[in-house]
Amino acid sequence: MDLDLRKLRYFVAVAEELHFGRAAERLHIAQPVLSRQIRALEDEVRAQLFLRTKRATELTAAGRQLLDDARPLLAAADATQRRVALAARGSKTFTIGFMPGLTVTEAVRGFGQAHPDLEIELIRTTWDDQVDVLHDGRVDVSIVRLPIDQAGLTVRPLFEEPRVATLPADHRLAGKPVIDITDLADEHLLQDPDAVPEWRDIAVELRTRTAKPVPVLRSVEEKLEHVAAGHGVSIIPLSVATFYQRPDVVTVPVDNLAPNTVCLAWIATRRARLLQDFATLATSVSWTP
């Protein structure tokens, strides 16, 4: 069975909207056309993908499985199109993604000297897209901060660095030379608790089920604005705290907190020589947190 990528894109739109009308508007097609395409896809995969009633549209178990598989498949297709288009134009470009707080100058300069005919581009990533940029072909390699979903990737450790607590300047713990993770048990964490399991295990708001929702934060700047406003605290790598210093936010070292691991990642199925060359160089340079 050959899956039609266009039908898969239609399916993903409906699965994300859970509404055929909104999905049709998003895709700029008529709703009857979308419905026919989804029925055709169901015939091809020999499974019902949606349960439709007058009140709601829901994914079936088969639909949920297809959604999990369709997203990386479509991202890989997009990445292939990008790379083929670049090759057709004769472009010799190598793109590196990197997370906030990381300085990639030494690796970039060394790679440029080794490949003087290569145009090297840089893209700053975030917690939300540091892996997505690999799967959709925006970058060739990405310098990431763990934890990430490593499925389909080759991941090579580069270095570890301490993490620190960021607090409002007038916080009761501001100015302490070091604190214990238990000192933050009463605080509201402005990030996914799973990213700081040491805090999650002792957090009062999780134990008493009084946790406030974590705002959607797309950048370090947004996170620090919330910290400065007294909305909560955050745990970030030391290099990020050093790079984004501001007078209304203080950083304090924390005992009992695992370091952050920085790694180089690329798509596991890619075997390009340039990838291997950059990986060799990246593991040999000095990374200073």
Homologous superfamily assigned to 92-157+263-282 = Periplasmic binding protein-like II (3.40.190.10)
The order of strands in the sheet holding 260-267 is 119-124, 93-98, 141-145, 260-267, 153-161
Homologous superfamily assigned to 163-258 = Periplasmic binding protein-like II (3.40.190.10)
pTM of the model: 0.72
What pLDDT is stored for residue 277 in this prediction?
95
Going from N- to C-terminal start, the domains of the chain cover 5-80, 92-157+263-282, 163-258
pLDDT tens, the chain, 289 aa long = 678 888 888 999 999 999 999 999 999 998 989 999 999 999 999 999 999 887 889 999 999 999 988 888 888 788 777 777 766 665 588 999 999 999 999 999 999 999 998 889 999 999 889 998 998 888 999 999 999 999 889 999 999 999 999 999 999 999 899 999 999 999 999 999 988 999 999 999 999 988 888 888 888 999 999 999 999 999 999 999 999 999 999 999 999 999 999 999 999 988 889 999 999 999 998 887 6
What pLDDT is stored for residue 1 in this prediction?
61
Contacts of 29 (CB under 8 A, 6+ apart): 10
Sign of CA dihedral 210, 212, 213, 216: negative
Give the domain 5-80 fold. Arc Repressor Mutant, subunit A (1.10.10)
Q: Do the domains 163-258 and 5-80 match in fold?
A: no
